[in-house]
A and B are shown apart, each in its own frame.
Chain A
Amino acid sequence: MADKILMKGNEALAEAAIMAGCRHYFGYPITPQTEVAAYMAKRMPKIGGVFLQAESEIAAINMVIGAAAAGKRAMTSSSSPGISLKSEGISYMAGCDLPALIVNVQRGGPGLGGIQPSQSDYFQATCGGGHGDFHLLVLAPSSVQEMADLVAKGFDLAEKYRMPCMLLADGTMGQMMEPVSLTETKPEAHDKSWALTGTKGERRPNIINSLALQPQELEKWNEDRFARYAVVQENEQMAECYMMDDAEYCVVAFGIAARVSQNAVDAARAKGIKVGMIRPITLWPFPEKVLKAAADKCKAFLSVELNMGQMIKDVKLAIDCKKPVGLCCRTGGMIPSPEEVLAAIEKMQKEGN
């Protein structure tokens, strides 16, 4: 274990990417994730890597497509409005089955919105974000350590399933410093015989393409891709349970909302309320199994989010609407206080009894 150092989430994820073998970063400045680009600009030239500030978010994601097509670990990072611009490329990447890491350090929207933390890109991320039938792997860190740890995990999953992976963070995760220990990780070995490396005259050309004008062919591609997604949904759900063993009530929250909710759960426990928290770490695949299990034990659920209520739909679907699901949310860059969440927990308890 390396010594712990204090790092911003944005810097920690950048260094973690380098330690995971990523040598190709393409990006464009946008608050609150610019530290990622600044960090890469400093480090990449010193280790023989590529940092390139693209002319646009769109160019950046397409450069990632190029590098990923060549078989390299490549990434880009941005914040909400920039991710909208990248969504064309993300769709192409999904259609071409290219693995890469896309970081979204979310800020409030819609439109130019604000620059304060938000989780309002939940729908965009978990439903794919671009045109067409597809999903991204979506990972939601809730500490600086996880900002780093989920980078290597994200690259490995992306390459294993040939899917783009999104690290869905928010302004607080990007800007806050916490102690973090970083260790070199060895990329898992996954087949990359599909990569564009030149035929050397020894094999048929590799073609990376998302165009299929015959509907039968395109349907087949999509069905095959969704068969792969089903495996991901079966095997890769991740969530952390906090005080769930004897919980009668369940808070569901990810990222910064989970950090705030943890205080509220502690405060509610101090008042004798048997409440726990499920913190999804994978937002896609959504951790349905653990929620389904909780639905058998808990009387009610509370979704805590920095948006007008987006994940709550997945919570309801996961538990087949068996139990009431309440919502505690702030939006526009506001973060609910632990007191607000506590009040919502107390309300849930009152209505549940």
Chain B
Amino acid sequence: MNTTEVLIAGFGGQGILFAGKFLAYAALLQNRNVSWLPSYGPEMRGGTANCSIILSDAQVGSPIVSRPDILIAMNLPSLDKYEQEAKPGASIFVDSSLISRKVERTDVNVYYVPATQLSTDNGLETLANMILLGHVIEKTGVIPEEMIRPALEKVVSARHAWLLEKNIEALSLGKNYKE
């Protein structure tokens, strides 16, 4: 029985919830159990946002991720808040364009991706989340690659179909990023 607990955290507006929904759908399409739980608050934009996603072969108990296997930190307050919560052996992904400090823990795998910088350099503004996820998928195999397109088709609305290829581009940029 395999369970992966993912916590994505950052500012509202960085596509935290979208990235989480994408992962959740990818797992659902494999007929796995999944839960997706957002933090919710009065700030619609710019406030802190985080999202708990649990992908599991067993029934999901608590949907709240307090000890993540995978932590994706998209701003400094999120890294400060959650670094110590990650399980020993967890993988921590850091948007190094926005977070200048290094992870202090030594019992975790750390990946630094200048995702925000890469997004602006490559005309993929607002897709730093997906660049990071591309790297997450490459390094952890949290979802199989063949699920990427079908899952995106579920979460990118028909109205924004043109964004589908942009998302694929961002994911593959993250996948191929070499530190």
Contact = CB atoms under 8 A, between A and B. Distances in A.
A337 B61 contact: no
Contact of B24 (A171, A177, A263, A335): A177
B21 A177 contact: yes
Contacts of B154: 6
Contact of A175 (B33, B40, B60, B61): B40
Interface string B65-84: 01000000000000000000
Interface residues of B, number: 20
A260 B62 contact: yes
Given A6-B21, A6-B25, A177-B35, A337 B40 contact: no
B156 interface: no
A179 B28 contact: yes
Given A6-B36, A178-B34, A179-B33, A31 B62 contact: no
Given A177-B36, A178-B36, A179-B33, A172 B28 contact: no
A256 B28 CA distance: 21
Given A6-B21, A6-B28, A115-B42, A263 B36 contact: no
Contacts of B61: 259-260, 262-263, 266, 338
Interface of B: 21, 24-25, 28, 33-38, 40-42, 60-64, 66, 154
- Nearest 6 CB-CB pairings of A with B: A263-B61, A262-B61, A177-B36, A260-B62, A176-B37, A259-B62
30 contacts: A6-B24, A6-B28, A31-B42, A115-B40, A115-B41, A115-B42, A171-B40, A172-B63, A172-B64, A176-B37, A176-B38, A177-B21, A177-B24, A177-B36, A177-B37, A178-B60, A179-B33, A256-B62, A256-B63, A259-B60, A259-B61, A259-B62, A259-B63, A260-B62, A260-B64, A262-B61, A263-B61, A263-B62, A337-B66, A338-B61
